[in-house]
Amino acid sequence: MNACTSPTIQDIFCDYGDEYLERFGPRMPGNHRKVLEAIRNCRRGKYGYTVYQCQKCRKCHFFQRSCGNRHCTVCQKHKSKQWLARQKARALPVSYFLITFTVPESLREFIRSNQRACYNALFKASSGALKKLALDPRFVGTDMPGFTGVLQTWGRQLQYHPHIHYIVPGGGLSKDRKQWLSSRKNFYLPVKALSPIYTEMFRQAMAEAGLLEHIHPKAWKTNWNVDSRAVGTADTSLKYLAPYIFKVGISDHRIVKVEDRKVTFSYRDKETKVDRICVVDVMEFIRRFLQHVLPDGFMKVRHFGFMSPGCKTSLDKIAELIIGLSEETDRKQRRPLKRDDSEMLDDDTIHCPDCGGVLVYIAAEIPTLTGSIILLA
């Protein structure tokens, strides 16, 4: 690739993907190969076409279909807004906390080689630690806290750094589910107590998975960092976390240039908050990107306790318990955001490039092994 003004990840994968497959293909996990191919072919005709007609000028427009892969930068741009709108509808009128669980650097290579088992263990251990300590009456005293966890695997320079962020409403339900037990406004749980519980639960999960003997004993003597921050309202924590839900390791706007087989991209220094530049070989860049591909079917967002869809006590009922209003009064003052309301918050309307009129979906042509099929509106 020659120097270019606005290179994208898709450009890099198209220009250097074949070389990467030739050099590393035999050792590549199948899901890495699948993502590489999906990004290369996204909106390039491989997945067929969608037909729209302008309501104003009646002209038909053909758009190349996207790959839909969750690791594709092109396909994920609009989904975080939709998720944010849905989660705001589930927000409670309490103080919120952002709690992050990390792992020691010495364990990262092991986790990367055993991703499905270790990612599940991270969720199990971190959520278990939160539930166990929330039981303590000195803090919350609830057997039913609620929180949402999101797995993130990358650092600012695309290095492998698995950790889980939790959005945590400050409180929980009483044992009979008839009372709201509030945490302190600026304090949820002590991180120094969370860390050893989390560490031990992860160790137990590794033993159950038959992987404990492959981990050096020193890992259990290292401090496992847990960070807890009071973030105020739900909006603050949700806005921080929403981009990570559908974001991949790096977005196109951070790529400065691709020149002489080097990828130059920007990142923000965690300590100084100053924008800096990282330069890596193009093969290394592709490797760093693909190491964040999740196992097939793995759920990176999980809801626990009263935030779980399976909880018998609805969030509307919990809100009533929190603000102490009758059901009728609460319904007037706190109307739940309906599904169609949240969809209206994310305007996906497509406009005609010729006259500006609204485009309406007409049909889609999708290729198959034996030809193609047409899906009409």
The whole-number pLDDT of residue 30 equals: 93
Q: CB-based burial of residue 46 (10 Å sphere; 0-12 exposed, 13-18 middle, 19+ buried)?
A: middle
Q: Output phi, psi for 332, to 5 deg.
A: -75, -35
What confidence tier does 184 reach under pLDDT thresholds 50, 70, 90? Answer: very high
Alpha-helix residue ranges (DSSP H) falling in the chain: 9-24, 30-41, 79-89, 108-113, 115-134, 191-208, 234-246, 282-290, 315-323, 327-333, 339-344
Cβ atoms 139, 160 nearer than 8 A: no
Q: What is the pTM of this model?
A: 0.86
Average pLDDT over residues 275-286: 96
Q: Give the closest residue to 146 by CA, choosing from 30, 303, 292, 348.
A: 303
Average pLDDT over residues 320-345: 50
Half-sphere exposure of 111 (CA within 13 A, CB side): 24
The whole-number pLDDT of residue 368 equals: 79
Token couple for 147: 């929180």
* pLDDT for residue 284 is more than 50: yes
Q: What percentage of the chain exceeds 70 in pLDDT?
A: 90
The whole-number pLDDT of residue 327 equals: 47
The whole-number pLDDT of residue 76 equals: 67
* pLDDT for residue 348 is more than 70: no
